[in-house]
Chain A
């Protein structure tokens, strides 16, 4: 890419150069716009920012792109500077947290700048909430809240690694969602940055950003609601899924673990884990499964292929009966009104077909993709219009969440054919 840029020299003389983007970037760096921003341009290092947990088969992985540069902002000002540079050079921005998700939300599909929030990870616990920067880690927040006899209402099972910004951008659900719903329902407000500046949004307005994968703005920080840290009583029993669904009332966290997934843990039979805040029975298996909630992948000594879908509670048992025919290892986590089914396959070519089949079967039972990111999209006219108004050049994480891309289109067709 060649850019024409204006450089104002110290002598106030103005010169115009035609430069390759990176040369221009370096030049601008020495003048004013970038200032002291941390930017990584080593090609092999940038290549590492082309991936998350998602393991695309080779033909599809070729569609993804190595970023031009990786920025690591340390403050809101840094983020604004990056937005300014991106707007100036018309380069897309891909926000990135821990890249611990498997939906490709942080994977560039155009030549882009990655904005990685690992250096914005401060948080402070307040009376009933925590105000956390985008790169703050859920596990550290939970530990700090626990010291104040508080706890997060909801957090991801990947809390050990994942970040506030990443999970909010995904509107994920996880531990605690049975009682408190998705993360989006537990936010007082969020602060976002776009080409016009920084704004704090709450109420209905926040839904323009929560679950939008950074396509409408970069999440800078969030005010997340906390709960009183009551002890969790965990009980696990072996029973069928339709019976398990009847026992969800009043629960804090519930998961159904298939025989195959239990086998990975060296255990036999299936298990239904139900955890309640400060009440209910507990047993040894329950405690064990509760304590391993942060390690859903532990013990899988192969690079697995995942499929994760959401089902309405009323159809999850019927779906599971069908799923059992071609998948042995899966875990179901329950939310207020829906269940997330996380199916795991070993890495064989036929596993890709099976993973797609999970999605196809789920659709038949009223289900949908758990995550959108790069692999799927929803048609949302309002969000598209909103994006057009704040991001006319489509620079904020293009081709994600509610914009189709080549990969999501191919996957859509593949699901139909599976």
Chain B
């Protein structure tokens, strides 16, 4: 990596929370340039993992280095040399056992479906709910399915045959774990005759649309699925539906915005639903991360909480009534931050907001 050491990457939210040079992208690049991975001690490994993979460093990098992918490759190498962090390793092991990182029973993946009449549906369009919306924030999965129904879009679901997409493991360096999930999901989708996959989680969206084709190529299988994030679909399919003109601000999830360049689609959906948008000071490609990604929350909770607090305070300053986002992890992190710091701003996923307007 040809870092010019300009230091623009000091915008990194983790470095701003813990401003030690070995945590700044510039410092990490210098360390990795001068040292072999195998020679990194436990402290330096921890510092390298202090990163939410938000990709802001890549946006501000004056040398335009492809840093996000690079950090993932470094983590993969750390795992391959037995230098992974304990919590990440444990989650990977749990996921391999249970099919999801929460250690929940696979049969419980269908719990959100019980509120809808979705069983036995057949369609070549699959709604891939993802682990967070299936087990934790089921409202997101239910709202997404509800909206698709209301818009007359036929779809099926994987139910108990849906497995984790592998995103948490690709981000923390456990590529082999992710590849195993690829194999499982690919097998199910092939069996079901899936042609199009809709996701409501940007992590799943990035993984299935960007990482899976690479894994498929490595495994020499054809990967011919159209992959859409729900906001792209709604941007196309949704008419202007709302008029209540509540003021909302939008938090760009890193995986959707900086990683996949979907900035305007969610905003158009919000406007079509009748909300007025006021932007936070840092938005679109310069948006502050929520602090939950890249395995940061699981391993470095305090840093993650500090970043979450900063973001929710930024949302509060806009005077918006609602903080909308389009990622279950961001919803979880920011709503917890709002509660914890008594900020009093309601946090919803776009699909929840759209569905409530459609249901009026």
Write the residues of chain A forming the contact surface with B, with a CB cutoff of 8 angstroms: 40, 42, 44-45, 47-49, 51-53, 55, 70, 72, 98-100, 116, 118-119, 143, 158, 160-162, 295, 297-304
A48 touches B281 (CB 8 A): no
Within 8 A of A (CB), among B1-49: 2-8, 10-11, 19-22, 27, 30-31, 34-35, 41, 43-44, 47
| Cross-chain contact of B281 among A42, A44, A143, A301 (Cβ < 8 A) | A143
Within 8 A of A (CB), among B304-323: none
Across the interface, name the chain A residue whose C-beta is closest to B281: A143
Across the interface, name the chain B residue whose C-beta is closest to A158: B6
> Can you give 26 contacting A-B residue pairs, CB < 8 Å?
A42-B22, A42-B43, A44-B22, A45-B22, A45-B27, A45-B44, A48-B31, A49-B21, A53-B5, A72-B19, A72-B20, A98-B7, A99-B7, A158-B6, A158-B7, A160-B8, A160-B11, A295-B62, A297-B6, A297-B62, A299-B62, A300-B62, A301-B63, A302-B63, A303-B4, A303-B63
| Cβ–Cβ < 8 Å partners of A158 in chain B | 6-7
Inter-chain CA distance A340–B48, complex, in Å, is: 38
Asked, given contacts A53-B7, A303-B3, whether A297 binds B63 with beta carbons under 8 Å apart, the answer is yes
B27 touches A100 (CB 8 A): no
Across the interface, name the chain B residue whose C-beta is closest to A100: B7
Inter-chain CA distance A44–B30, complex, in Å, is: 10
B6 touches A100 (CB 8 A): yes
A44 touches B20 (CB 8 A): no
User: Interface SS of chain A: helix, strand, loop or mixed?
Assistant: loop
Instruction: Give the B interface residue count (CB, 8 A).
Output: 27
**Min CB gap B9→A, angstroms:** 8
| B91 close to A (CB within 8 Å) | no
| Cβ–Cβ < 8 Å partners of A55 in chain B | 5
Pick the 8 closest A-B CB pairs, nearest first. Answer: A118-B19, A48-B21, A297-B62, A100-B7, A161-B7, A45-B22, A48-B27, A298-B62
**Min CB gap B167→A, angstroms:** 30
| Cβ–Cβ < 8 Å partners of B31 in chain A | 44, 48
| Cβ–Cβ < 8 Å partners of B64 in chain A | 298-299, 301
| Cβ–Cβ < 8 Å partners of A52 in chain B | 5
**Min CB gap A64→B, angstroms:** 14
Most B CB within 10 A of own CB, among A98, A161, A162: A161
B6 touches A161 (CB 8 A): yes
| Cβ–Cβ < 8 Å partners of A300 in chain B | 4, 62-63
Asked, given contacts A40-B20, A299-B64, whether A48 binds B5 with beta carbons under 8 Å apart, the answer is no
A-B contact sample (11 more), CB < 8 A, given A298-B62, A300-B63, A303-B4: A40-B20, A42-B43, A45-B20, A45-B21, A45-B27, A48-B30, A70-B21, A100-B7, A161-B11, A295-B62, A297-B6
Inter-chain CA distance A171–B175, complex, in Å, is: 50
B22 touches A53 (CB 8 A): no
| Cβ–Cβ < 8 Å partners of B215 in chain A | none
Inter-chain CA distance A297–B281, complex, in Å, is: 24
Q: Scoring B residues 153 to 177 as 1 if CB is less than 8 Å from chain A, else 0, what string do you get?
A: 0000000000000000000000000
| Cβ–Cβ < 8 Å partners of B41 in chain A | 44
| Cβ–Cβ < 8 Å partners of A53 in chain B | 4-7
| Cross-chain contact of A304 among B4, B30, B47 (Cβ < 8 A) | B4
Inter-chain CA distance A74–B256, complex, in Å, is: 36
| B60 close to A (CB within 8 Å) | yes
**Min CB gap B280→A, angstroms:** 12
Write the residues of chain B forming the contact surface with A, with a CB cutoff of 8 angstroms: 2-8, 10-11, 19-22, 27, 30-31, 34-35, 41, 43-44, 47, 60, 62-64, 281
Asked, given contacts A299-B64, A303-B3, whether A161 binds B22 with beta carbons under 8 Å apart, the answer is no
| Cβ–Cβ < 8 Å partners of A100 in chain B | 6-8
| Cβ–Cβ < 8 Å partners of B7 in chain A | 53, 98-100, 158, 161-162
Inter-chain CA distance A70–B27, complex, in Å, is: 14
| Cross-chain contact of A48 among B11, B22, B60 (Cβ < 8 A) | B22
| Cβ–Cβ < 8 Å partners of B281 in chain A | 143
Inter-chain CA distance A116–B18, complex, in Å, is: 13
Inter-chain CA distance A188–B34, complex, in Å, is: 44
**Min CB gap B259→A, angstroms:** 20
| Cross-chain contact of B2 among A42, A143, A297, A302 (Cβ < 8 A) | A302
| Cβ–Cβ < 8 Å partners of B30 in chain A | 48, 51
Inter-chain CA distance A301–B63, complex, in Å, is: 5
B6 touches A301 (CB 8 A): no
| Cβ–Cβ < 8 Å partners of B19 in chain A | 72, 116, 118-119
| Cβ–Cβ < 8 Å partners of A299 in chain B | 62, 64
Inter-chain CA distance A48–B15, complex, in Å, is: 14
| Cβ–Cβ < 8 Å partners of B3 in chain A | 303
A161 touches B8 (CB 8 A): yes
**Min CB gap A356→B, angstroms:** 20
| Cβ–Cβ < 8 Å partners of B10 in chain A | 98, 161
Across the interface, name the chain A residue whose C-beta is closest to B60: A160
Inter-chain CA distance A47–B30, complex, in Å, is: 10
Inter-chain CA distance A90–B8, complex, in Å, is: 34
| Cβ–Cβ < 8 Å partners of A302 in chain B | 2, 4, 63
| Cβ–Cβ < 8 Å partners of B6 in chain A | 53, 100, 158, 161, 297
**Min CB gap B23→A, angstroms:** 9
Across the interface, name the chain A residue whose C-beta is closest to B44: A44
Across the interface, name the chain B residue whose C-beta is closest to A297: B62
Across the interface, name the chain A residue whose C-beta is closest to B5: A53
Across the interface, name the chain A residue whose C-beta is closest to B282: A143
